[in-house]
Amino acid sequence: MSSASPSTAPRSSATAARYPHPAAVLELLKPITWFPPMWAFMCGVVSAGIAFEGRYLMILGGIVLAGPLVCAMSQAINDWHDRHVDAINEPERPIPSGRVPGQWGLYIAGVWTLLSLALASLFGFWVVVATLVGLVLAWAYSAPPLRLKENGWYGNAAVAICYEGLAWFTGAAIMVGGLPDWRIIVLAALYSAGAHGIMTLNDFKSISGDRQMGVRTIPVQIGADSAAKLASVVMALPQVVVIGLLLSWGLQVHAALVCGLLLAQLWLMKKYLMDEVNLLLHPKKIAAIYNGTGTTLYVLGMLVSAFGIGSLLSGGA
């Protein structure tokens, strides 16, 4: 008994060091980040104007594809390629802390990529195309040689396209079983463009660290004040176009609702994002306040627009 005990202990600890704990894997995949693409996916589902009855399993599968698979994969590959920086700045994260040991971060990203494509293949050609584009952008965002995240203009565009436009397109494509109506694609593209501004605000939380590490986010390149003004314009202009389109399609009520949401955003932009002194002193706090208020109104406008085009398409069916 005494000789067996020492021999089993090393094997147990070696196993623990070799394989990641499930809780650490879940932390690596960051469930809190899944909400934006899942919301956009549901906007796509609603915008198709097709009844949910008999399609609940398909919708659930699409939600899994948008959030727990594609978005989660992007988080894993991002943490893998940031592991050396995280070892200095955030050593408690799953990979630098050793809770996801060895190359498991890379393995998980690879497996999730394959699982995403496998699930997408069940929904037809256009869902596979959208998923493939999203996966390519996710890898290009984090991985060399492109590593789009090192320049805010490109990196923010990649994230905005994945989180908003492609997720919206996927939801509609799953519902219609093919290429969505051109008006759905236009709305998805417009809200995707506006999301570039949201991504710029997200970069306010790490201006100092990004500057030290040479990550050229938009706030680092042009300063917090100019970046806030730019983000405001980028978020507002696509919504103005959306309002015009909704009016041209005879959706006056939906256009009025989106207009009201935009006016509330403009008030919040003036209150927070145009405050040069506070932006200089507390950029992280100001961006967080706006993201909790103005960005919420933005995504509500997405849903209103989705209901509008959905009602139009269902009425014309």
pLDDT digits (tens, 9 = 90+) for 3-14: 444 433 333 333
Q: Domains of the chain by range and CATH?
A: 21-179 (1.10.357.140), 181-317 (1.20.120)
How is residue 312 written in tokens? 């139009």
Nearest to 30 by CA among 91, 127, 95: 95
Q: Could you tell me the two tokens for 114?
A: 């394959």
Q: What is the pLDDT of residue 213?
A: 80
Mean pLDDT (the chain, rounded)? 92
**Taking residues 134-138, what's their average pLDDT?**
97
Cα–Cα distance for residue pair 172/162, rounded to 1 Å: 15
Q: What pLDDT band is residue 162 in, cutting at 50, 70 and 90? A: very high
Cα four-point dihedral sign 163, 74, 35, 133: positive
pLDDT at 314 over 90: yes
**Are residues 239 and 305 in contact, defined by beta-carbon separation less than 8 angstroms?**
no
Backbone angles phi, psi at 308, to 5 degrees: -60, -55
Q: How far apart are CA 111 and CA 108, in angstroms?
A: 5
Question: What pLDDT does residue 17 have?
Answer: 57
Inform me whether the pLDDT recorded for 169 exceeds 50. Answer: yes
pTM of the model: 0.91
DSSP characters over 85-97: HHHHH-TTSTTTT
> Which of 187 and 212 is assigned the larger pLDDT?
187
